[in-house]
Structure 1
Amino acid sequence: MADTVNAKWADVKPQLSVLIPFLRDDPTPLLTALSREGDQLATRVEVLVLDDGTNSSSLTRDLKALIATLPLAARLITRTDNLGRAKGRNLLAEHARGSHLLFLDADMMPDSPLFLSTWLDLVEQSDLPVAFGGFSLLQASTHRAFRVHRAMALRSDCLPAEVRQQQAEKHLFTSNLLIRRDVFDAHAFDDSFNGWGWEDVEWSMRISALHTIAHPDIPATHMGLDTVDALIKKYRQSAPNFARVAGLHPEIVAAYPSYRAATAIKDRHMALPVAFVAEFMARAEWLPVRLRAFSLRVFRAALYAQALSKDERS
């Protein structure tokens, strides 16, 4: 593991630690955007970036050069092996020095030029234990390759704060998540999760029994929309994680539409044919976007049904 810090690092005692893990994504646009607030926040904010196994010498070189010029205290941790989503974020938290941790995905972009200032004001005014700022697609690509993901995200993820607050533990992602230091020290992410998905929601389920989860309106754009093919791969990875969360928190998961749909498919022993048809329809570019998005949600439910069945047999 290699470590690089800039000249400002040693002299800053931060209030807010911004933690950015990445694998193959390029975090330089996000770092550049955050640095625009640097002159006002230089003594209060630090930025830690984890390259979790990208193994790109050119990207590492560019990041080191950028970090050296940032007005914010910054540190780059470079690993040649991949820790994974939970372990990587836990590692960043171990090295953070702030009283509050702000987890940002590398493919995010602040929607406000006062993004960090707003988070800091909230920390000072209320000392929140946990808060999710939300995300949007305001700055994301409108290319047709991503239109299915865009339709899905706008329907279920890009929600106003008052809607997210109604199911506070469900609408929480590590893409724009504030956690107070003492809360995270007592409750880190479960690093036994593998692959993509659900480790952040499982964490929020544990936390929701102990702390209030706030949903302020401090959004950032999710720039990294996926193609249907990429989403299908991610959903395949997420199915075992979903089954595990259902086993750990059955009362909470039982209220989720995805669980009810998966259970209905499982009970009728229709997981394989439903997954086959739904995947075909999701990939069919001649179908309307709304129908393809619906088919992709059905495909995901069928995968979850298979995972639930396997979990019951084991």
Structure 2
Amino acid sequence: MLSILIPVYNYNVLELVTELVKQCDLCGINFEILCQDDASNSKENIQNQEINSFSNCSFFANEINLGRGKNINSLARKAKYDWLLILDCDTFPSNNNFIQNYISALSESANIIFGGIIYEDKRPSNEKLLRWIYGKERETSALLSSNLLIKKDIFLQYPFDESITKYGYEDLVFFSVLKKNHFEIIRIQNPTFHLGLETSEQFLNKTKTALDNLVSLYNSNKINASESKIIKVFELLKKLKLIHLSNLLFKKNKTKIEQNLLSQKPSLFLFDIYKLGYFCFLHSSKILNSY
């Protein structure tokens, strides 16, 4: 029936697994829960090992880091049931009928179902505001694989791109491939809370890594302007011959924008400007380095 896959990195997932086991038992379904830490060597894994004491549950730890997408692919190959529920380790069901809601949705003959992501309303500490505000304003309407139910045979045919080993945009490529192969992705109101908030500085650094990924994916034609607003605006600037000016403006204002993003009142508008400027800068740098 259901294989729940939880890619883990330096996170305690015992409480999440305990809740999922309870809900699956109440539904009376055949299930398994597979958790796999991606070589974090975290102290959290001491408690995560307790997951192996649950019936139908397993916790593994990779010897080498695979990256999120490849880690999920590995879990999918180990799964024994026809349906895969992919959950990020730092999520938690927002309701007591989370599993039942997914089981009920299967009667609609859907192959891919996304339950959604929400953030807690409680304002976090000041150093985590950028991640929280971005999550509440942008990610709650985005299509993500952090709470996704999908047929196993479809996933194994169209897995995550294993060339993407760094953080960022693996979801965009994954869903792009599914859409190009004419799979409908149904969204239902069955969200999980996103609990793991990085500091604004950590999130900004991860964003830079993600944008480096995006440049590589764009250069290799795996993502185009129809799938990314950043690329769409970049191509417009390129057409208008404004990339050089954009780079100059970015270098001039980079520090000031970063100060805002790390402040108690981060602006998502400035964050968008920052991401576009950094993308232009990275793209130009890669072109120069290729000569």
Counterparts in 2 of 1:287 and 1:144: CA distance versus 1, 3 Å: closer
Gap runs ≥5 in structure 1: 1-14, 160-170
- Pairwise CA distance, 1:198: 0.7
Distance in 1, matches of 2:71 and 2:164, equals 12
Match of 2:284 in 1: 309
Gap runs ≥5 in structure 2: none
SS class of match (1:252): coil
Letter in 1 for 2:89: A
1:132 equivalent in alignment to 2:146: no
| C-alpha RMSD of matched pairs (Å) | 2.4
Match of 1:234 in 2: 206
Match of 1:283 in 2: 259
Identity %: 22
Counterparts in 2 of 1:187 and 1:97: CA distance versus 1, 3 Å: same
1:173 equivalent in alignment to 2:149: no
Q: Is the 8 A contact 1:176 1:219 kept in 2?
A: yes
- Pairwise CA distance, 1:263: 4.1
1:225 equivalent in alignment to 2:208: no
1:107 paired residue among 79, 90, 113? 90
Letter in 2 for 1:35: V
For each residue in 1:238-280, what CA deviation from the matched residue of structure 2 results, as whole angstroms up to 9, or x when unmatched? Answer: 1232123332232523xx3322344456633123641562453
Residue pairs, 1:33-112, within 5 angstroms: 33-41=19-27, 43-56=29-42, 58-68=43-53, 70=54, 73-112=56-95
1:296 paired residue among 258, 271, 276? 271
- Pairwise CA distance, 1:285: 7.3
Q: Is the 8 A contact 1:141 1:223 kept in 2?
A: no
Letter in 2 for 1:132: F
Counterparts in 2 of 1:286 and 1:73: CA distance versus 1, 3 Å: closer
Counterparts in 2 of 1:287 and 1:26: CA distance versus 1, 3 Å: closer
- Pairwise CA distance, 1:290: 4.7
For each residue in 1:18-62, what CA deviation from the matched residue of structure 2 results, as whole angstroms up to 9, or x when unmatched? Answer: 100111122123223223314324542211000110213x43331
Between 1:213-222 and 1:32-41, the stretch displaced more is 32-41
Match of 1:116 in 2: 99
1:268 equivalent in alignment to 2:243: yes
What TM-score results when the alignment is normalised by the length of structure 2?
0.87
SS class of match (1:150): helix
For each residue in 1:91-138, what CA deviation from the matched residue of structure 2 results, as whole angstroms up to 9, or x when unmatched? Answer: 000001111111111000110111111112212x02322222110003
Letter in 1 for 2:16: L
1:145 equivalent in alignment to 2:127: yes
Distance in 1, matches of 2:60 and 2:125, equals 33
Q: Is the 8 A contact 2:119 2:195 kept in 1?
A: yes
Distance in 1, matches of 2:115 and 2:250, equals 35
Residue pairs, 1:194-213, within 5 angstroms: 194-210=165-181, 211-213=183-185
